[in-house]
Amino acid sequence: MGLIRSYRLRLQRKRWRIRAFRKRRELKQVVDQTRLIRPDDILLYCTQRNEKVRLRYFLDYYRKMGVGHFFFVDNGSADGSLEYLSEQPDVSVWTTRASYRRSRFGADWLNWLQMKHAHGHWTLTVDPDEFLVYPFCDTRPLRALTDWLDASSIKSFSAMLLDMYPKGRLDDQPYQSGQNPIEIASWFDSGNYSLRRNSKYANLWIQGGPRMRVFFKDAPEKAPALNKIPLVKWDRRYVYVSSTHMLLPRGLNQVYDEWGGEKASGVLLHAKFLDTFGSKAKEELERGQHYAGSVEYKAYAASLQDDPQLWCKWSEQYINWRQLEILGLMSKGNWA
């Protein structure tokens, strides 16, 4: 990489930082419990809007995994989720009514909060419908992973988004608060992903899965990106460039081996396709606050009207992380 290009990326990183700094004014603090954070706590960052029904299980899941403190940005919820979050003992909450799109889909807000609070911590950035699975997650807490990453001088950990869906119509089984959404949306596509290298940021760009198979089969280039780097040993100089797909400095995106070996990686189980999806898609379509003119939601709305069936004969049912490892969706790398 030439000096000029690396300098350009440096300028871009600074620009995102300044932008995040300016966007701080859109955030209003509701609950501040950040003084409870211990120096070695693992932090979780999340933006949410009207996701109350999911929050109980979400918080439980990550508490059990060993997350020490939660940071939430609430984007104008009206379903009581803000109040619910405010009552939690380990959650700090900010609220805003500003545009989700103009904050680059929440990245600016979270970049600011991370700059301010996450320096030196392992930091997990996920959505309320994303559930991290990593090697040995059934026997080892998240701290074991971050300790190992520290010992190996690895600063970022990749976890690809794996779309989960139910068998049958999406609205067949209503989701109850506190329930494990993977009980309903327990199926996934195991082997139809395509990857390419993004030469500018050195990250991989992954597309595929049920969304490409069903919604974007005629326009695959529009299918959503599935590559994510949610777990980072944060430094105040880092920024997320676009959602959690990539970061700057770009060395953090080098989560894959280029010489034939496998680095350790996990999976984010994406429990988006529940009975709540239909109304969510409709609402998001009206708001027009999503990526690329909400092209995704338009495609969903069009396809979902006639036959909301993502399941096919070759779908795999989720069992555990070892299954994902064998299928080649994630890897233990040299962690044993």
Residue 142 binds to other proteins (criterion: CB under 8 A)? no
Residue 97 binds to other proteins (criterion: CB under 8 A)? no
| Least gap, CB of 46 to other proteins (angstroms) | 22
Q: Which of 67, 202, 264, 271 binds other proteins (CB under 8 A)?
A: 264
| Amino acid letter for position 137 | C
| Residues 6 or more apart whose Cβ sits within 8 Å of residue 5 | none
Q: Which of 256, 282, 301, 323 binds other proteins (CB under 8 A)?
A: 256
Question: Distance between CA 104 and CA 246 in Å, rounded?
Answer: 13
CA 198 to chain centre: 19
Which contiguous run of DSSP H or E holds residue 124?
strand 122-125
Residue 261 binds to other proteins (criterion: CB under 8 A)? yes
Nearer to other proteins, 35 or 313 (CB): 313
Nearer to other proteins, 178 or 191 (CB): 191
| Amino acid letter for position 132 | L
302-329: buried (b, 16+ CB within 10 Å) or exposed (e) per residue? ebbeeebbbbeeebeebeebeebbeeeb
Which 49-68 positions form the footprint of other proteins (CB under 8 A)? none
Picking from 102, 95, 224, 110, the residue whose alpha carbon sits closest to that of residue 161 is: 224
Q: Which of 262, 282, 291, 309 binds other proteins (CB under 8 A)?
A: 262
| Least gap, CB of 96 to other proteins (angstroms) | 32
Residue 158 binds to other proteins (criterion: CB under 8 A)? yes
List helix spans (H) across 259-316: 277-287, 291-306
Residue 151 binds to other proteins (criterion: CB under 8 A)? yes
Strand arrangement of the beta sheet that strand 91-96 belongs to: 28-31, 91-96, 69-75, 43-48, 122-125, 231-233, 156-157
Residue 144 binds to other proteins (criterion: CB under 8 A)? yes
The structure tokens listed for 133 are 């699975």
| Residues 6 or more apart whose Cβ sits within 8 Å of residue 306 | none
Residue 255 binds to other proteins (criterion: CB under 8 A)? yes
Residue 303 binds to other proteins (criterion: CB under 8 A)? no
Please give the size of the binding site for other proteins, defined by CB under 8 A.
60
Residue 193 binds to other proteins (criterion: CB under 8 A)? yes
Residue 101 binds to other proteins (criterion: CB under 8 A)? no
The interface region with other proteins, picked from 73-81, 96-104, 204-212, 294-302 by CB under 8 A, is 204-212
Nearer to other proteins, 174 or 251 (CB): 251
Residue written as token pair 């994630």:
330
Nearer to other proteins, 99 or 152 (CB): 152
Question: Distance between CA 272 and CA 51 in Å, rounded?
Answer: 11
Nearer to other proteins, 87 or 218 (CB): 218
In the complex, the residues that contact other proteins under the rule CB under 8 A are: 136, 139-141, 143-144, 147-148, 151-152, 158-160, 189-197, 204, 206, 210, 212-213, 216-221, 227, 255-265, 312-316, 327-336
